[in-house]
Amino acid sequence: MKGRDEIAQALAGSGYIADADLATAISLMQLLRRPLLLEGEAGVGKTEVAKALAKVHATELIRLQCYEGLDQSSAIYEWNYQRQLLAIQAHRGTDSIEDQIFSEKYLLERPLLAAIRRAQAPVLLIDEIDRADDEFEAFLLELLSDFQVSIPELGTIPAITIPHVVLTSNGTRELSDALRRRCLYHYVDYPDVDREARIILARIAGASPSLALQIARMVESVRKEELRKVPGVAETLDWAAALVGLDIRDLHDAPETVHETLICLLKTQEDRARVTPQVTQRLLGRVA
């Protein structure tokens, strides 16, 4: 069990700059061996937490991307029907064929089942759980509570190892109380200026400390505008990479380029129209 500071340093070594609250949440997640639910706006780095944890633990990342209509055949397991049909044809007339075709040999692992059957505990990322249906949450509760999966034909399959489980939600629908009770919880907000500058330095080769700080301050100002889609950290990194690639060392030296490259941050026509060159110039005035 690592303490908060050790976890923050380990995550930083993998390229993820965590604040103290998130490091504490991960510390408790590992101590209690409980799933961690990360909620927040799209683009604030929730998915990256799981990727960084996999690097820290030097283990596999198993990702389940949630969507409307997701069911257990896509998430937990399904039978290899083609091989079962071939086996039935090959053993036609054999009384015991039904027992044979519903065996491990014909079982196809999906992410949730795979995550509890690894010899080394993986990181299981259940991404955008709020996009899945209420019915899918019911399938998920057994795994999150007891780390086991029930398959009618085979019985209960317990975990070989307990995975490090990270769930993410963008808050598009309210999650059930039953799901929330089984998880630790942390809200991931947009980073403050200093942390976003550190993120830029950690992820973008060639960015100077002064440029990273200017970019972070500019992005903070852009987020305060009335935008349809507020830029996340991923957009900040795209913009920083573009500016570094264009050899921009100080935002004030290239206001036209700054405005033109804001397409990295602004992802709708309305937002692009709202942030005019005059608005860009005004925002630049706030950047020291």
pLDDT of residue 3: 79
Q: How far apart are CA 267 and CA 117, in angstroms?
A: 41
In a domain, 285, yes or no: no
- The 10s digit of each residue's pLDDT in 12-21 is 999 899 999 9
The reply to whether 9 and 38 lie within a common domain is yes
Write the pLDDT tens digit of every residue in 108-150.
889 999 999 999 999 999 999 999 998 898 889 988 989 998 8
How many domains does the chain divide into? 2
Nearest to 191 by CA among 51, 26, 37, 17: 17
- The bridge status of strand 123-127 relative to strand 164-169 is parallel
Same domain, 143 and 248: no
Residues in CB range of 242: below 8 A, 6 or more apart: 261, 264
Task: Please report the pLDDT score of residue 232 as a whole number.
Answer: 95
| pLDDT score at 87 | 72
The answer to whether the CB of 219 falls within 8 A of the CB of 287 is: no
In sequence order, the 6+-apart residues with CB closer than 8 A to the CB of 81 are none
Residue 288 belongs to a domain: no
Residue 94 lies in a domain: yes
| Residue where the block lists tokens 């085979």 | 154
Q: Using one digit for the tens of pLDDT, what is the confidence trace for 219-230?
A: 999 999 999 999
Model confidence over 236-263: pLDDT tens digits?
A: 999 999 999 999 999 999 999 999 999 9
Query: 167 with 233, same domain?
Result: no
Alpha-helix runs per DSSP H in the chain? 4-13, 20-32, 46-56, 72-75, 81-90, 97-101, 111-115, 134-146, 177-181, 193-203, 209-223, 233-245, 255-260, 269-274, 277-284
Considering the domain architecture, whether residues 138 and 160 belong to the same structural domain is answered as yes
Minimal CA–CA distance to 121: which of 54, 52, 72, 178? 54
| Residue 233 structural domain | 193-280
Residues 94 and 150 in one domain: yes
Do 98 and 126 share a domain, yes or no? Answer: yes
pLDDT tops 70 at residue 177? yes
- Given this model, what pLDDT does residue 96 score? 64
CA–CA separation, 202 vs 193, rounded Å? 14
287 occurs within a structural domain: no
Do 32 and 64 lie in a common domain? Answer: yes
Q: Same domain for 175 and 51?
A: yes
In this structure, what CATH number is given to the domain that contains residue 162? 3.40.50.300
The DSSP secondary-structure symbol of 175 reads P
Percent of the chain with pLDDT over 70: 95
The DSSP H or E segment spanning 107 is: strand 107-109
Domain end among 127, 154, 187? 187
* Average pLDDT taken over every residue of the chain: 91
| End-of-domain residue from the set 154, 187, 220 | 187
Give me the percent of the chain exceeding a pLDDT of 90. 75
Same domain, 142 and 266: no
| Residue 261: DSSP 8-state | G
Q: Based on the fold, state whether residues 162 and 19 are members of the same structural domain.
A: yes
pLDDT digits 0-9 by tens, 40-59: 998 899 999 999 999 999 99
Say whether both 178 and 202 belong to one domain: no
Q: Are residues 207 and 270 in the same domain?
A: yes
